[in-house]
Structure 1
């Protein structure tokens, strides 16, 4: 479902993807046996591609917003499978095993354990792709940002490829982009109208600034 997209994103950001970055199939199956449920395909793909990668799991030492639960820490709470938490706050994200959209169910969020769940994203696949994009940007050594209204995204679209497609991201709050040749990853938030870009080299950021005309500010 999204395994190849994640592998491509990781190769762009970190230079390569290797099987050691992900969890083996028997590890994923063992977690399912412990929980008594089958994981949704999108979540299985995330663990298979990035379940051992510290940056995409949010444990790499950078100021990542999200921390994905290790397979051993996955838990069921109030009928929800909690798979992600916010690193500095008690917010949680989950899916419901009884969701009719399984294997790509709706994502739910809540401000803290015990609080009311709300609908966060229409599809788990889009949520995970954009978590990965955000984590990758935060891990890259050269970063810049700018305010960008949704209608101004046309300045970016000719220069950066969507991770997957624009349709894949529909129903969520974020978009993720890559430029494989320049090793750039970018993340856009509808909520804050902010584009954040990460690159391996400062020259890649400068080239994007010149080609796009965007008022990029170093982070």
Structure 2
């Protein structure tokens, strides 16, 4: 299968960290497969390529919000695969498990106090690029 998002995610390193992408910025396919082996779900292509590109880059994985490592991924009782949390743990982002077969599914956000999920009305790739743009411009 062709990489759909890999190079775009790798390009986040030079764009925001002003450094060339290095192999250690991403996880290997073996690391991802090993981390996901215990789970009873598969991850969308876009999330796998995100981990391949920058899963080892703490400066991006923990840029204002915290992307969960592959072994930390979990599905909640409402059927959402959760992958991201804000630093105050007020919100969690995820995918509907029914959408995990879609290469770049819509992202949903849960208000952790209310427990309600709401669509972000954008795909994971759109969400990630917008989030990094916001996070890094916020710091300037």
Q: Which bracket does the TM-score occupy, shorter chain normalised?
A: 0.7 to 0.9
Aligned partner of 2:12 among 9, 13, 16? 9
TM-score by length of 2: 0.84
Aligned to 1:22: 26
Distance 1:53 1:98, change over 3 A: same
How many equivalent pairs are there? Answer: 135
* Partner residue, 1:204: none
Deviations 1:190-209 (A, max 9, x none): xxxxxx377xxxxxxxxxxx
The answer to whether structure 1 residue 119 and structure 2 residue 119 are counterparts is yes
Larger radius of gyration: 1
1:121/1:31 Cα in 2 relative to 1: closer, same or farther (>3 Å)? farther
Q: Which runs of 5+ in 2 are unaligned?
A: none
Unaligned runs of 5+ in 1: 59-63, 138-195, 199-218
Shift of 1:117: 0.8
Residues 66, 85 of structure 1: 8 Å contact kept: yes
Residue 67 in 1 paired to residue 66 in 2? yes
Is contact 1:92-1:113 (8 Å) kept? no
Is the contact made by 1:35 and 1:76 (CA closer than 8 Å) also made in structure 2? no
Q: Is the 8 A contact 1:6 1:132 kept in 2?
A: no
**Root mean square deviation, CA, Å:** 2.2
Partner of 1:38: 42
For residue 96 of structure 1, report the CA deviation from its aligned partner.
1.5
Give the whole-Å Cα distance in 1 for the aligned partners of 2:100 and 2:24: 33
Q: Map 1:74-113; keep pairs closer than 5 Å.
A: 74-78=73-77, 79-99=79-99, 102-112=102-112
Deviation at 1:113, TM superposition (A): 6.3
- What is residue 188 of structure 1 aligned with on the other side? none
1:34–1:10 Cα change, 3 Å: same
Quick one: structure 1 residues 88 and 100, their matched pair in 2 at CA, closer, same or farther if it must change by over 3 Å?
closer
TM-score w.r.t. the length of structure 1 is: 0.56
Superposed structure 1 runs of 4+ greater than 4 Å apart: none
Aligned residue number for residue 61 of structure 2: 57
Match for residue 193 of structure 1? none
Match of 1:128 in 2: 128
Alpha carbons of structure 1 residues 90 and 104: separation in structure 2 relative to 1, 3 Å:
same
